[in-house]
Amino acid sequence: MAEKKITPRDKDYSQWYLDVIREGDVAEPAEVVKGCMVIKPHGYALWEGMRDDLDRRFKATGHKNAYFPLLIPMSFIQKEAEHVEGFSPELAVVTHAGGKELEEPYVVRPTSETIIGHFFAKWISSYRDLPLLINQWANVMRWELRTRMFLRTSEFLWQEGHTAHATHEEAVEETRRMLDVYADFAEEVMAMPVVKGEKTATERFAGALSTFSIEAFMQNGWALQAGTSHDLGQNFGKAFNVRFQNEEGKLDHVWQTSWGVSTRLVGALIMCHSDDNGLVLPPRLAPIEAVVVPIFRKAGERDRVVSACARLRDDLVAAGLSVELDDREGVKPGQKYYHWEARGVPVRVEIGPRDLDKGQVALKKRLAGSEREFVPMEGAVSRVRALMGEIQSEMLRRARERREESTVTVDSWDDFLDLFPEGRSSFVYAHWCGDAEVERQIKEETGGVTIRNVPLDTQPEPGRCIRTGRPSTGRVLFARAY
């Protein structure tokens, strides 16, 4: 058997994450470019799969893609007061170009509300131009002090939706619609259940009236903010003078939204599902859905086994599956198993001389605890296809189960503290009085536990703040978070 190169989750979760990325051939730190990474083909294919699926959902909800400049005049960032405060410390600045110092420096976009606001002002003049529903797939840059591959990198890939509406109601509706799109995508495609909710004022996007998020449960009990959707009110409309004539002929500023998900989702996918053998990928995103491994000891068996494997590979490809045949010479089956497990291939097909004699193949799911199942050769293709659906559902079921096992409702501060020893976390539903200062205090006293969001799908429930005992109208979700 191949040497285990992945640190177990229980031993060191952070190291496990890095090991899974390395052994899964997903990405590597760029080193020579501070806080950046190279997304390798296997990792980029995961992002492509996410992008293509999300893009269909955005188009189905009426959005169109466009592209705005990478560079934004420094003065633009300064037009919305909270926005500049939020993003200034993280900006990368272009001061020279074409061999000369620039009169006004440009920032590399950290997000595009400002430059898009500038163009919305040119494009919108009447209620007939609304709603304007735009999305952009792009790279952005936020100079982060502490980085972690996919979860927080100086440059990342993302999409940013930007919309303008005639009324606040419509903008709020859009904000919630796109939150639902993200949540549906996370569950249906990533097999990752999420908690939809509203961020507290402290955690709001710089310049928004309200921010909604989807929060996913990672296997170490931590939360990961996987997507956000912002109701920008008229803040950017006023800062960039985006006005329209309404049906009554009066001028008003537009109501805007913005919403985004990023390559962070690749990190979420890994932390949600992978195990001590490497990546575990949901079939709907797996770049390779099945691998066929020929098993033989003697040279005489080779041709017969490999050609049967090649035929099955062809049949699987003809059935629409993405399949690899691992017929490498000089590599033992065990090493091959390790190789493809680390890369998260959902199903392994093994064929040896005895299988051929019996007219069968062995199938092994990538899921922990799965046993080999033997199926007749002629039923192999339909069984492998069926397994894709089974694995997809099973991954979501297990992820839900893990989250539920770590979800707790508490009402006393002592119990709360017990749930959050240093570095450890659960999903904890508790009451909070709504005071930002108390939120800050809780974060400080627990060494980092934050309110992830105020969940949308819980019932109002009167209670007392976990920290102050003051009245509260409902529980919020606490956790440590990436």
Chain residues binding its own copies by CB under 8 A are 28, 30, 32-34, 36-41, 44-45, 47-48, 64-73, 76, 88-99, 105-106, 108, 115, 118-119, 122, 134, 138-139, 141, 143-145, 154-155, 157
Residue 198: in which H helix or E strand, if any?
strand 194-198
Burial class (CB in 10 A: 0-12, 13-18, 19+), 78: middle
Smaller CB separation from its own copies, 145 or 436:
145
Helix (H, G, I), strand (E, B) or coil at 481: strand
From the list 481, 424, 472, the residue with the least C-alpha distance to 451 is 481
Smaller CB separation from its own copies, 328 or 470:
328
Q: Can you tell me the distance from the alpha carbon of 310 to that of 349, in angstroms, rounded to the nearest whole number?
A: 11
Task: Please state the closest distance from residue 95 (CB atom) to its own copies, in A.
Answer: 5
Residues in the chain: 482
Record the tokens describing residue 239, joined without a space.
């800062």
Task: Please state the closest distance from residue 481 (CB atom) to its own copies, in A.
Answer: 22
Task: Please state the closest distance from residue 358 (CB atom) to its own copies, in A.
Answer: 35
Smaller CB separation from its own copies, 22 or 199:
22
Smaller CB separation from its own copies, 96 or 298:
96
The answer to whether 458 and 474 have CB atoms below 8 angstroms apart is: yes
Helix pair 380-405, 264-273: axis angle to 10 deg = 90
Record the tokens describing residue 4, joined without a space.
């285990």
Smaller CB separation from its own copies, 35 or 233:
35
Smaller CB separation from its own copies, 27 or 479:
27
Task: Please state the closest distance from residue 338 (CB atom) to its own copies, in A.
Answer: 18
Smaller CB separation from its own copies, 151 or 466:
151
Task: Please state the closest distance from residue 73 (CB atom) to its own copies, in A.
Answer: 5
Helix (H, G, I), strand (E, B) or coil at 410: coil
Task: Please state the closest distance from residue 327 (CB atom) to its own copies, in A.
Answer: 14
Separation of first and last alpha carbons in the chain:
35
Smaller CB separation from its own copies, 25 or 187:
25
Helix (H, G, I), strand (E, B) or coil at 24: coil
Q: Phi and psi of 474, rounded to 5°?
A: -175, 165
Smaller CB separation from its own copies, 106 or 182:
106
Identify the residue whose tokens are 């494997």: 309
From the list 117, 65, 75, 63, the residue with the least C-alpha distance to 254 is 117
Q: Can you tell me the distance from the alpha carbon of 244 to that of 43, in angstroms, rounded to the nearest whole number?
A: 43
Query: Residue 431: beta bridge partners?
Result: 475
Mention every residue, 6+ apart, whose C-beta is less than 8 A from residue 109. Answer: 68, 69, 70, 71, 72, 115, 138, 140, 141
Task: Please state the closest distance from residue 390 (CB atom) to its own copies, in A.
Answer: 28
Task: Please state the closest distance from residue 2 (CB atom) to its own copies, in A.
Answer: 17
Task: Please state the closest distance from residue 40 (CB atom) to its own copies, in A.
Answer: 6
Q: Can you tell me the distance from the alpha carbon of 14 to that of 143, in angstroms, rounded to the nearest whole number?
A: 21
Task: Please state the closest distance from residue 136 (CB atom) to its own copies, in A.
Answer: 9
Q: Is the dihedral of CA 225, 194, 263, 481 positive or negative?
A: positive
Task: Please state the closest distance from residue 115 (CB atom) to its own copies, in A.
Answer: 8
Smaller CB separation from its own copies, 264 or 480:
264
From the list 296, 299, 290, the residue with the least C-alpha distance to 332 is 296
Smaller CB separation from its own copies, 134 or 254:
134
Helix pair 264-273, 13-23: axis angle to 10 deg = 110
Burial class (CB in 10 A: 0-12, 13-18, 19+), 269: buried
CA 325 to chain centre: 30
Q: Can you tell me the distance from the alpha carbon of 306 to that of 319, in angstroms, rounded to the nearest whole number?
A: 20
Record the tokens describing residue 21, joined without a space.
């990325």
Smaller CB separation from its own copies, 23 or 198:
23
Task: Please state the closest distance from residue 134 (CB atom) to its own copies, in A.
Answer: 7
